Structure 1
């Protein structure tokens, strides 16, 4: 960080091209180059606001150049320029959100310190007696828990439930004693803090703790401090730029409305123009519906053709099965005819063979 700060100081004194050769061609500055600080070109760099304070952001790693800043301000409004502004506002919003959370925590801390404890503080004798009672109750609770476990093991459910109820009452009494002791301790701490410290308040700008009714010199020193001035400048810039951007958007919207109104008036104006607009919109909707119906008819036709093609395939499969059955039937008939055409000698020999078998 120290090296960067020293380099920036040398750049301001001797120029960014202090190490360039005399014959070297120097590149002209361009605000779109990534080496330049976007925040410095838009408004200011937040890294320069909190130097040597608790909110120090360190040295900025980018280059701060007034010439580039002038180029940025003279440039026409573009999308990239709007992005630079949006990024600066986003960074400011993030820092303001952090300090607002700090302010809220500081207020809660003061409320806790200024809150009145419940009841007067206990004396040392009362505190010792309270501790002894807590210890005795803890021993009784432990013994009753063991007896309840033994009764549950024996199967005596009623006795176990009664012991558990008694344990619950003793636990409540123990918690009350502990709470009373804690309240007494907090009461003594609060009284001691109130006696040692003065009444404080939180600065609504930077979140620092201030003494109520402090000397004017100390108040002026705080208001002129880097941290307070930095957050004040940050808040002021964010509010001004946000309001300016909102007004710009409203102006653009107003111009768009006027342009639309002029277009309607140029087409005839008045109610007649509105009626023509409605008629044109109705014709457009009717045309869209007709196109949708045509697409539906085309889809229906394509589905029907697909079904027809599927039915033709089924009919082809049926015809092929019929041909297979006809061929099989022809083969059976041929085998039967061949059997019938066998020679008489073969038939007689088969009959004799059958007789011998029987």
Structure 2
């Protein structure tokens, strides 16, 4: 992504043909080439709407060129141009559906947060009564357990089993009372938290959470933010283009109906001559449709050839980069080996110097020792 951003910046500063040789013939731009961004030519590129936000789509891998956009707008209506518009509308519809799902989830989350607990909180008197019942049940359970143990030691197995069953029922009743008390505590805590929290709402454009009755400055900051402005622009463009397309389709249907009515009236009044004209017109329409299909097929073949050529060129460039990286790695390995050899050689030189110093010191000590002995011998 960083390489693509740097390449686009260089294209804006130095032009798209910055790497061509002076004697090389520059290819004229064509809006049908696959290297140009279709969305940018139709209206705008969605990758430019949410830069440095949570909805960032990254850098667009295609080329954005104003000259090519002008060529696209000036080009005559064709099947390929309508396909570009349809693809832009599909992509906008996909992004709008995603943000609509986000808005729905946010509303469901707020409804869940604002929903009241199932059981209402208990009053102070009910809580005290509940605690007394729990205390009495605990005492009864302890007494029954002792009686069951005494009956078991005396050999009354049936009596001991009956006491233990009664003890289990009392334990279940005690657990239900404790659970009711705990639910009441949590419901009170949830009510207090809901009372302390601020009321929230979901932005119907971008799906962000907003505080109800917030300061006007914060609301203005949100409305002028990239994410809100981007989704608003996306929705507005989709609605305008979709409405224009529907109007165009309705106008086309009206023209077709008028042509059919005119053909019926001419057939009813013109006889065989009108039939011949109809056949000739149908033949011309078929020939024109066949020519359009052949042109589209040829354009697709050219596009596939360009894609294959580009992929092979990318593969060759990638292999050259890999070979260059391997050569650099080998050179670094050789440099490291040479550095290690130099370090060893310097270490050997230092060892030799130390050996020489030790030998000289030893010789000086031995010469001093001999001179001392001679001096003692003379005295």
TM-score normalised by length of structure 1:
0.60
- Check the 8 A contact 1:121/1:187 in 2, yes or no: no
Distance (whole Å) between structure 2 residues aligned to residue 13 and residue 128 of structure 1: 83
Deviation at 1:201?
A: 0.6
C-alpha spacing 1:27/1:15, structure 2 compared with 1 (3 Å): same
* Alignment partner of 1:107 is 2:114: no
| Maintained 8 Å contact 1:201/1:212 | yes
Q: Deviations over 1:295-315 (max 9, x none)?
A: xxxxxxxxxxxxxxxxxxxxx
> 1: distance between equivalents of 2:250 and 2:76?
20
Give the Cα separation in 1 of the matches to 2:187 and 2:40. Answer: 52
Deviation at 1:180, TM superposition (A): 4.3
Runs of 4 or more, structure 1, over 4 Å off, are 121-130, 172-183
Tell me which structure has the larger Cα radius of gyration: 1
SS at match of 1:267: helix
Q: 5 Å matches for 1:7-46? A: 7-46=7-46
Provide closer, same or farther for how the CA distance between residues 94 and 268 of structure 1 changes in structure 2, counting only shifts above 3 A: same
After superposition, the C-alpha distances for 1:32-51 in whole angstroms (9 at most, x for unaligned) are: 11111110011100000000
Q: Distance in 2 between matches of 1:33 and 1:182?
A: 69
Which of 44-53 and 15-24 deviates more? 15-24
In structure 2, what is the equivalent of residue 6 of structure 1? 6
Deviation (angstroms), 1:268: 2.8
Q: Per the alignment, do residues 257 and 17 of structure 1 end up closer, same or farther by CA in structure 2, a change over 3 Å counting?
A: same
TM-aligned CA deviation for residue 77 of structure 1: 1.4
Count residues with an aligned counterpart: 241
Q: Distance in 2 between matches of 1:175 and 1:37?
A: 67
Give the equivalent residue in structure 1 for 2:53. 53
Work out whether residues 113 and 190 of structure 1, in 8 Å CA contact, stay in contact via their aligned partners in 2.
no
Find the aligned partners of 2:84 and 2:123 in 1 and give their Cα distance: 62
Distance 2:80 2:189 in 1: 58
Question: Map of 1:121-270 to 2, 5 A cutoff?
Answer: 180=180, 183-184=183-184, 186-268=186-268
Cα shift readout 1:129-161 (whole Å, capped 9, x = no counterpart):
88x99xx99xxxxxxxxxxxxxxxxxxxxxxxx
2:121–2:185 contact (8 Å) kept in structure 1: no
Are 2:29 and 1:67 equivalent residues in the alignment?
A: no
Q: d(CA) in 2 for partners of 1:89 and 1:173?
A: 63
Q: Once the 2 structures are TM-superposed, how far is the Cα of residue 178 of structure 1 from its aligned partner?
A: 8.8
Q: CA deviation at 1:20?
A: 1.5
CA 1:185 to 1:3, structure 2 compared with 1: closer, same or farther past 3 Å? Answer: farther
Q: Deviations over 1:93-141 (max 9, x none)?
A: 11100100111111111111111113116889869988x99xx99xxxx
Asked if 1:83 corresponds to 2:80, the answer is no
- Structure 1's 229 and 177: CA in aligned 2 closer, same or farther, altered over 3 A? farther
What is the TM-score of this pair, normalised by structure 2? Answer: 0.56
Per-residue deviation, 1:184? 3.5
Aligned partner of 1:120 in structure 2 is 121
Q: How far apart, in 2, do the equivalents of 1:26 and 1:218 lie?
A: 51
Identify if the C-alpha distance between structure 1 residues 268 and 217 changes in structure 2 by more than 3 Å, giving closer, same or farther. Answer: same
CA–CA separation in structure 2 for the residues paired with 1:248 and 1:174: 74
Shift of the 186–3 alpha-carbon distance from structure 1 to 2, 3 Å rule, reads farther
* Residue 18 (structure 1) shift: 1.2
Q: Deviations over 1:156-181 (max 9, x none)?
A: xxxxxxxxxx9xx99x9899769746
Query: How many Å separate the matches in 2 of 1:217 and 1:93?
Result: 31
Structure 1 SS opposite 2:210: strand
Give the Å deviation of 1:267. Answer: 2.1
Distance 2:132 2:83 in 1: 68
